[in-house]
């Protein structure tokens, strides 16, 4: 029986493992190596590690856990249940593991716009988060992608980073007059024509080709679409979700299920590596305190 099983070895799961390992807890981390930012060339905005590659960050984190005896298993966990005060999880090969506490640090995945040419540029000059990649795109010709009214907020926000911002609604012509006026007043150009494809070289966006044959030179694109949980373990365990599709947690990352904690992008809304790591640390402390209380004679 483990003191704690951690599912997800991104920044949230690894930081929780560090706190619990240092507290001499018997911990295992299961991870199948698909952190949300694996497309990105750099991880920005993390003090002391600004600009480091996501792979290097995870590699360093895993190496730092070695001396604390944390077990790392490169496996997918397919099922998780809670019964009579303990958790039972199964990997995809049918192996069974038990623990007193469980942490879900399984993250989110992004629903990418269905645009030809996007995947080769994603994480290099096509992004979704201005706090992660806005600085690197400053003063560039920036396209913002969002169907219907979805991209309006993002387009206005991007004015922080560049004067040249164009909103592409990709064939949606239903922007309201007030929206058009707001965008115009704030110096955002609008293109409602459907997009045919994105063209770039070596990861750098060069132009957007429209269905009507026109071509617009652009250097970066930020999109505004939606996200999904990376796996359905939260649902399997009966967690409560918010209307934004993330798991509801309390002040110390506790979920509505006793002994089950959730940290990182899978819960809450500021989705940055440093926040995920901090939530992991909070969950680690809370799990250890709960175990201490239960074991006190």
Ligand X SMILES: Cc1cc2nc3c(=O)[nH]c(=O)nc-3n(C[C@H](O)[C@H](O)[C@H](O)COP(=O)(O)OP(=O)(O)OC[C@H]3O[C@@H](n4cnc5c(N)ncnc54)[C@H](O)[C@@H]3O)c2cc1C
- Footprint of ligand X on this chain (CB under 6 A)? 7-13, 30-37, 39-40, 43-46, 76-77, 105-107, 110, 123, 129, 132, 230-231, 233, 264-266, 271-274, 276
CB of residue 108 vs ligand X: minimum separation in angstroms? 7
Distance CA 118, CA 126 (A): 7
Residue that has been written with the tokens 């003090």 in this structure: 47
Nearer to ligand X, 244 or 297 (CB): 244
Query: Are 101 and 116 in contact, with CB atoms under 8 Å apart?
Result: no
Nearer to ligand X, 79 or 193 (CB): 79
CB of residue 274 vs ligand X: minimum separation in angstroms? 6
CB of residue 71 vs ligand X: minimum separation in angstroms? 14
Tokens at residue 255, please?
């979920």
Taking phi first (over 0 means left), then psi (-120 to 50 degrees means alpha), and beta for anything else, what does residue 190 get?
beta
Nearer to ligand X, 39 or 82 (CB): 39
CB of residue 126 vs ligand X: minimum separation in angstroms? 9
Tokens at residue 239, please?
């967690």
Residue that has been written with the tokens 């990105």 in this structure: 40
Nearer to ligand X, 169 or 271 (CB): 271
Distance CA 103, CA 245 (A): 18
CB of residue 66 vs ligand X: minimum separation in angstroms? 18
DSSP symbol at 100? E
Nearer to ligand X, 37 or 254 (CB): 37
């Amino acid at each position: 029986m483990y003191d704690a099983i951690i599912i997800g070895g991104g920044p949230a799961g690894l930081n929780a493992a560090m706190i619990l390992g240092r507290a001499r807890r018997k911990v295992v981390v299961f991870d199948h190596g698909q952190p949300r930012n694996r497309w990105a060339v750099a991880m920005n905005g993390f003090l002391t590690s600004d600009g480091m590659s996501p792979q290097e960050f995870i590699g360093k984190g895993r190496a730092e856990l070695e001396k604390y005896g944390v077990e790392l298993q490169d496996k997918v966990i397919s099922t998780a249940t809670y019964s009579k005060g303990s958790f039972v999880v199964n990997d995809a090969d049918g192996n069974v593991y038990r623990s007193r506490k469980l942490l879900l640090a399984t993250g989110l995945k992004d629903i990418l716009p269905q645009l030809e040419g996007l995947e080769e540029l994603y994480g290099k000059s096509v992004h979704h988060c201005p706090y992660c990649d806005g600085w690197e795109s400053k003063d560039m010709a920036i396209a913002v992608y969002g169907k219907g009214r979805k991209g309006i907020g993002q387009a206005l926000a991007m004015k922080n980073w560049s004067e040249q911002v164009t909103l592409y609604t990709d064939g949606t012509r239903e922007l309201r007059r007030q929206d058009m006026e707001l965008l115009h007043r704030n110096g955002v150009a609008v293109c409602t024509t459907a997009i045919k494809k994105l063209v770039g070289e070596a990861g750098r966006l060069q132009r957007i080709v429209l269905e009507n044959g026109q071509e617009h030179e652009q250097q970066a694109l930020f999109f505004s679409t939606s996200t999904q949980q990376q796996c359905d373990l939260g649902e399997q365990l009966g967690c409560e979700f918010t209307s934004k599709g993330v798991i509801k947690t309390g002040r110390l990352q506790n979920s509505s299920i006793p002994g089950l904690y959730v940290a990182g992008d899978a819960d809450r809304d500021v989705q940055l590596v440093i926040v995920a790591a901090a939530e992991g640390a909070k969950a680690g402390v809370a799990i250890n305190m709960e175990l201490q209380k239960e074991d006190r004679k």
